[in-house]
Structure 1
Amino acid sequence: MQPRYVQIKTWILNAIEAGDMKPSEQVPSENQLAQQHGVSRMTARRALSEMVDEGILMRTQGIGTFVSDNRPMSSMLEIKSIRDEIEQRGHQYSNEVLLLEKVVVSSDIAHRLAVAEGSEVFHSIIVHCENTLPVQYEDRWVNPEWVPDYLEKDFKAQTANYYLNQVAPLSQADHSVEAVLVCEDIAHALLIQPSAPCLKVTRRTFTRVHAQDIHKNNGVVSHAVLYHPGNRFRLGGHLEF
């Protein structure tokens, strides 16, 4: 049986998906949820707090908690597996691996991965879906020095980001975000029109270089370009000062 706070989250998610709770509409208070579901106020508070952290709800101090914009939101303050984000929203994750191969790197990608021009690196393209609808087109180049068995992995079972962080734990990252129009191939994979705006996240990830790895490059593990349909996706986070 699910924990009681998870049952409350599921109830709220079902109400949002059914249209009974709409974006910007206030949800029941902690006291109302506690009484309605026969739980403690602390349990109700946990359900609401987790949904605020996940971007599904938004809290206004002194007023209440409201349904957020109905597009999924990813954090700009931490790097999570897209699968984890989707499943934390109570939704179904799936993906389609479009490409997984070894390639001779271009000068631009060589620079980004800190490898010599003409080196061979790994290249993958994976489309990530939420409830069968594409929400991310992941175009990733990986340095084989850090992940020599990358091409052998089953990325239907685990995401590339999750696997990379297991074998070469993330120590730092560079990333940028911009609004773009995409080529026809990417638009087709995302099930959108080429004229539809997308969010493009460019991210380079590093792992810590230890003494035994000093012969390797500067710790650059991968360079990824992530495209998200603008009408299905947001980036955000909560800051406390």
Structure 2
Amino acid sequence: MSEMRPQRLYEQIKTYLRDGIAAGIWKAGEKIPSEFELMDMLGASRMTVHRALRELSTEGVLMRVQGAGSFVQSPPPRSPLLEIHDIAEDIARRGHTHRAEVLVLEARDAKVDIAAEFGLRPRARLFYSEILHFENDIPVQLEERYVSPAFAPDYLAQDFRSITPNRYLQSIAPPHEVEHILHATTADERLRGLLRMGPHEACLCLLRRTWTETGTATRSLLTHPGSRYSLGSRYKLADFHARPG
């Protein structure tokens, strides 16, 4: 029978952190000591500490946020896929704090493909907003939204730090039809910076288009870090009426 080999130092650091999380020293969502603090506490090199944190992140124990540190991973929050929910309300229901940064809010000439989705000629004017949503000061969604001026003529006058675009638009008129298309993609450098993502982390993207009786109202691309968000739905088949074909 072979003898058990002693744990390497990076494995001991992983065990130390796992035990601390299990004991409630660091709870879900809380920040653990920084690399430099762990180096001082445990007498390890930065490379050794970095390896331990990297492996715990890969194993889903920690969430590493660029520029902020390492946090105890919580189960990714799930938002409904078949419904339109307000992100601020979803975050509040989890007992967390929402805030938003308005990166862009302007009228712009629509490119050919975007204009076509609204049934307009190329370079037709549409309202455009780009908003970064945070949950407990950690970015969880980049919202890129085109809005028909005919549907929401006062869109550019709103303060989207205090009300989300979704809530404002729902107050005008709920859509008659909604389309959701979900896909995964890799993030470019700008997106990684905004969402504080690792170099190899995938994005979860939801393309949402809404229509009213008069035509296309909005087109939104909602991008989330794959490790911090999930989308799902549960429904009864009896709720869906059978359709021919």
Same fold (TM over 0.5): yes
Counterpart position of 2:158: 153
Q: Map of 1:64-213 to 2, 5 A cutoff?
A: 70-207=75-212, 209=213
Shift of 1:148: 0.8
User: When the two structures are superposed, what TM-score results if normalisation uses the length of structure 2?
Assistant: 0.65
Question: Which structure 1 residue ranges, 4+ long, deviate > 4 Å from structure 2?
Answer: none
Contact 2:177 2:211 in 1 (8 A): yes
1:45-92 Cα shifts (integer Å, max 9, x gaps): xxxxxxxxxxxxxxxxxxxxxxxx711111012110111111111111
Counterpart position of 1:18: 27
Say yes or no: does 1:226 pair with 2:231.
no
Residue 237 (structure 1) aligned to one of 229, 233, 236: 233
Q: In 2, distance between residues paired with 1:136 and 1:202?
A: 13
- What SS class does the counterpart of residue 197 from structure 2 fall into? coil
> Quick one: which amino acid aligns to residue 96 of structure 1?
E
> Quick one: which amino acid aligns to residue 225 of structure 1?
L
Considering only aligned residues, what root-mean-square deviation do their CA atoms show, in Å? 1.6
Q: In 1, distance between residues paired with 2:137 and 2:156?
A: 25
> Quick one: which amino acid aligns to residue 106 of structure 1?
K
User: When the two structures are superposed, what TM-score results if normalisation uses the length of structure 1?
Assistant: 0.66
Q: In 1, distance between residues paired with 2:130 and 2:200?
A: 22
* Structure 1 portions without partners, runs of 5+: 1-14, 20-68, 210-217
* Structure 2 portions without partners, runs of 5+: 1-23, 29-73, 238-245
1:210-234 Cα shifts (integer Å, max 9, x gaps): xxxxxxxx42111011100000000
Shift of 1:168: 2.6
Q: In 2, distance between residues paired with 1:192 and 1:94?
A: 19
Q: In 2, distance between residues paired with 1:113 and 1:182?
A: 27
Matched residues, percent identical? Answer: 37
Contact 1:181 1:194 in 2 (8 A): no
